[in-house]
């Protein structure tokens, strides 16, 4: 009894603690109304829940600016990587062992491109990797060269906004190169950290599959992801999947005859929250307004940090709107953990770096955050550096 009471006390203490501001790429800060949408317990067969599911799909196609006769929004339980694996594993056909007549070209300039490589390895998808440094954007001419040199390539996959560093890739131009080489090639875009704030014309870019998730630019909570799939291609994918639960074709096909329903238990609370987030996304002004707010947030962080002597890892002209990577100071008193803990105690949460070659840290600027929050973050960072005894602005290395 005592242990149960102690556990409940710890739980209620967590619930009552002040809400931190998340300068991270997701999960991120949501509005009170998005959180409130999770307070009702829907049954998975509830007709009202089914209406929510169907309206989510309609709204996703509207954000993507595509017609329902051309594309379908397929919802996948789990995080963003579940949808990536579902898409890669369904879009690419099963081949006999040793058959290399078809290959996937994975374009990687960060951790999430490399994750796609690992997925292909585990699923047994023959693939070629076009790699760049994580500070470099993809050059469409290199993609063209790969297509010319490797005639077995039938699928091309790339990350739009690579969260490893915050770099954004020219997916429209890449898609044009792929289509020009061969209109029958399948083009897959991971739009995890761009969809909803950075528009990508799926028609002009000849995108066959676009992947994203609930807890990014739409400002929902984690729990499911989705694929905007070109119908003429998805309809050819029956039997391709190497998984039961992650079969994108079966997920779509089941809902054709069972609108609003799922083959397996859906995250009902998460979807209710996401539906509310979609309503708020539209009310804010859609992709254009959401993107402008995020760009302004990112601009403030970058400008103020540079005034303090911090160096950007990514060239500003290649910088996306989600997260920015800063190089760590070389000052002997600088300690990232001390800085992180200092900020966290003051309800500011930042992100460690993911670079393999140089120490860095990252500041995200998406979610329910505004200009005033950016300045608050900067001021708390200044206090943290004073606490560590590191003078600002930083001296040149």
Half-sphere exposure of 59 (CA within 13 A, CB side): 23
Cβ-based neighbour number of residue 356 at 10 Å: 8
What letter would DSSP give residue 39?
Answer: G
For residue 234, give the H/E element and its range: helix 231-234
- As a whole number of angstroms, the distance between CA 339 and CA 332 comes to 14
Q: Note the pLDDT of residue 142.
A: 98
Rounded to 10°, the helix 286-307/268-284 angle is 80
- As a whole number of angstroms, the distance between CA 174 and CA 178 comes to 6
Phi, psi (5° rounding) for residue 168? -120, 135
For CA atoms 354, 357, 360, 365, the dihedral sign is negative
Cα-trace Rg, the chain: 22
Q: Which residues pair with 158 in a beta bridge?
A: 107, 189
Measured CA distances, 345 to 19, 323, 340, 372, 378 (Å): 11, 22, 9, 19, 15
Cβ(166)–Cβ(362) below 8 Å: yes
Q: Note the pLDDT of residue 353.
A: 85
Q: What are the structural domains of the chain?
A: 2-29+285-388 (3.90.1150.10), 32-282 (3.40.640.10)
Tell me which residue of 335, 32, 357, 379 sits closest to 165, measured CA to CA: 357
Cβ(57)–Cβ(185) below 8 Å: no
* Strand pairing class (103-108; 127-131): parallel
Q: Note the pLDDT of residue 17.
A: 77
Kindly write down the DSSP assignment for every residue of 182-205, as one continuous string: -TTSEEEEE-TTTTTTS---TTTT
Give the mean pLDDT per block of 10 residues along the chain (397 residues): 57 70 95 98 96 98 98 97 98 92 97 97 97 96 98 98 96 98 98 98 98 98 98 98 97 95 97 98 98 98 97 95 95 96 97 82 97 98 98 87
Q: Note the pLDDT of residue 396.
A: 75
Q: Helix or strand or coil: residue 363?
A: strand
Phi-psi region of 205 (alpha: psi -120 to 50; beta: other; left: phi over 0): alpha
Q: Express each pLDDT in 62-104 by its tens digit.
A: 999 999 999 999 999 999 999 999 999 999 999 998 888 999 9
Q: Note the pLDDT of residue 395.
A: 86
The whole-angstrom distance between residue 206's C-alpha and the CA centroid of its chain comes to: 20
Structure token digits, residue 112: 């999430």
- As a whole number of angstroms, the distance between CA 133 and CA 131 comes to 7
Tell me which residue of 335, 315, 25 sits closest to 162, measured CA to CA: 25
Task: Answer yes or no: is 362 a known binding residue.
Answer: yes
Q: Note the pLDDT of residue 1.
A: 53
The b-or-e profile of 100-130 (16+ CB within 10 A means b, else e) is eeebbbbbbbbbbbbbbbebbeebebbbbeb
Structure token digits, residue 65: 């600016």
Cβ(318)–Cβ(109) below 8 Å: no
Half-sphere exposure of 97 (CA within 13 A, CB side): 0
């Amino acid at each position: 009894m005592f242990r149960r009471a102690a556990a409940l006390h710890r739980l209620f203490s967590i619930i009552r603690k002040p809400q931190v501001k998340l300068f991270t790429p997701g999960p991120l800060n949501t509005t009170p109304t998005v959180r409130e949408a999770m307070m009702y317990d829907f049954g998975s067969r509830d007709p009202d829940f089914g209406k929510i599911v169907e309206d989510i799909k309609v709204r996703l196609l509207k954000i993507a600016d595509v017609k329902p006769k051309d594309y379908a929004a397929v919802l996948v339980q789990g995080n963003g990587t579940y949808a990536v694996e579902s898409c890669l594993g369904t879009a690419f056909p099963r081949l006999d062992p040793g058959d290399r007549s078809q290959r996937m070209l994975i374009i990687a300039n960060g951790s999430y491109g490399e994750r796609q490589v690992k997925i292909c390895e585990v699923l047994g998808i023959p693939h070629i990797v076009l790699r760049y440094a994580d500070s470099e954007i993809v050059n469409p001419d290199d993609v063209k060269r790969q297509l010319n040199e490797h005639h077995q390539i039938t699928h091309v996959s790339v990350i739009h906004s690579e969260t490893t560093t915050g770099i954004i890739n020219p997916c429209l131009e890449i898609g044009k190169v792929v289509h020009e080489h061969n209109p029958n090639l399948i083009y897959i875009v991971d739009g995890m950290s761009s969809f909803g704030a950075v528009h990508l014309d799926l028609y002009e870019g000849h995108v066959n599959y676009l992947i994203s998730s609930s807890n990014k630019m739409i400002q929902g909570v984690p729990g499911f992801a989705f694929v905007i799939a070109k119908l003429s291609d998805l309809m050819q994918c029956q039997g391709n999947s190497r998984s039961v639960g992650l079969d994108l074709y079966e997920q779509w096909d089941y809902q054709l005859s069972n609108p609003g329903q799922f083959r397996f238990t859906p995250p009902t609370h998460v979807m209710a929250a996401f539906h509310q987030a979609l309503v708020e996304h539209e009310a804010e002004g859609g992709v254009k307004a959401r993107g402008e707010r995020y760009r302004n947030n990112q601009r403030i962080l970058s400008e103020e940090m540079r005034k303090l002597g911090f160096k950007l890892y990514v060239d500003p002209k290649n910088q996306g709107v989600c997260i920015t990577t800063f190089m760590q100071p070389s000052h002997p008193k600088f300690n990232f953990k001390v800085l992180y803990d200092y900020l966290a105690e003051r309800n500011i949460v930042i992100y460690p770096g993911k670079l393999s070659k140089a120490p860095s840290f990252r500041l995200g600027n998406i979610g329910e955050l505004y200009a005033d929050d950016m300045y608050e973050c900067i001021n708390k960072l200044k206090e943290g550096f004073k606490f560590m005894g590191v003078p600002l602005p930083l001296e040149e290395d």
